[in-house]
Structure 1
Amino acid sequence: MIHPDVATFVGFLGMACIIAAYAYLTWKPEPNPFLLHGTNLAGAALLTVSLVVHTNWPSLVLEGFWAAIALWGLAKAVRDHRSRS
């Protein structure tokens, strides 16, 4: 089992990923969808690690949706990239 302090630190890393992805989306005129959705997926995964140790069901469900949307965005980016190639 993960020590609660480590889980908290991992959660903060996840939070930083999601905030960085949102800032990137806001500042970049044409963001790279692989970077944007990949960073969101990493953030959701890291926050999920923290939420499994420090259970908060609404936040855990939110991260599940966040990860699903990021995966959908990555799949769309792959499809779009292949259609342009």
Structure 2
Amino acid sequence: MQLSVPDFVGFVGVALVVGTYFLSQMGRMDVRRPLYPALNGIGAVLILFSLANTFNAASFVIELFWLAISVTGFIRAVTAKSSSGR
């Protein structure tokens, strides 16, 4: 199997999404901190990039939702942090 650049980028995205979820489940990553949704969002973007090469409608839709949820979580984490710092 020959991996293209978009395939490799997609695998990096998968590693970010799965890795952050695993770390959160093991209690090693706090999902309330901005890093968690940021890494998930970056992972989703990388997977979306790979889908531009080999399109799959269902994967595209779930990654759009994953990205939207990650952006929402990131905004909440950043605003909660700035609110508590006052």
TM (normalized to structure 1)? 0.89
Kindly provide the amino acid, as one letter, of the partner of residue 7 in structure 2: T
Query: Would you say the 8 A contact 2:29–2:36 is kept in 1?
Result: no
Aligned match of 2:12: 13
Kindly provide the amino acid, as one letter, of the partner of residue 70 in structure 2: A
CA offset digits 1:40-78 (Å, max 9, x no partner): 001000000000110001100100000000000001001
- Number of equivalent positions: 82
| Equivalent residues in 2 for 1:3-82, closer than 5 Å | 5-28=4-27, 31=30, 33-82=33-82
Which stretches in structure 2 are left out of the alignment for 5+ residues? Answer: none
The Cα RMSD (Å) is: 1.5
Overall identity of the aligned pairs, in %: 33
Kindly indicate which of the two structures has a greater share of residues assigned to helix.
1
Query: Which stretches of structure 1, 4 residues or longer, exceed 3 Å deviation after superposition?
Result: none
TM (normalized to structure 2)? 0.88
